[in-house]
Amino acid sequence: MMHYVGLGSIDAPIYIYIENTPPLPFYQQLDGMHLMQQDEIFNIAQQTGNHWRKIFNVFAKLEFERSPQSFTQWQHLRDEQLLQENAPQCLLFNGSEIVAKTPNKIHIVMGKTYAAKLAVAQQCLWLNEFFAIDEKRKIIICPYFDYRQLSNLKISQLARLIDQLS
């Protein structure tokens, strides 16, 4: 039995892997999946500064581009749905044991360094200096969720790669 640690729903079609966790005691001690609550993303950003705000913003922009649903802006998706109950997103903090063992999911690993630590970078085909893909195992390596590394143009490219594997 796999042990998942992260935010959102383990039933999500896409698993996104990040190497770090929000630097707050609750998240540092998390030992399972946690569904975000209304205003929780805002509170994390307030308490931890810009870094996690950027991660959640980029995540929301990606989700909005892929499937805006009834939302008119990515900010609304972030505040009202991202990683909450019944939302189709999953952000995992423990990738090593999971990537290879859930072939029915799409796996997105943030950053080349983390992908190398998870031993998935070598098996992927590098499309350019930013993105790599393993179509058979449904793995995408992308830049870290930060505006400088994953610009709006690159968010669109990532959305297209996800569609390619869907």
pLDDT in the model for residue 97: 63
* Phi/psi-derived region of residue 106, left when phi > 0, alpha when psi is between -120 and 50, beta in every other case: beta
User: Residue 100 has what pLDDT?
Assistant: 64
Domain map (residue ranges) of the chain: 6-165
Cβ partners under 8 Å of residue 2, min gap 6: 97, 98, 101, 102
pLDDT of residue 3: 86
% residues pLDDT > 90 (the chain): 86
Query: 3-class SS at 63?
Result: helix
State the average pLDDT over residues 111-129: 93
Averaged confidence pLDDT in the chain:
93
Is the model's pLDDT at 48 over the cut of 90?
yes
90 Cβ neighbours under 8 A, 6+ residues apart: 6, 7, 8, 9, 10, 12, 14, 15, 16, 33, 83
Tell me the pLDDT tens digit for each residue of 78-105.
Answer: 999 999 998 999 999 987 666 667 778 9
Answer yes or no: is pLDDT of 25 > 80. Answer: yes
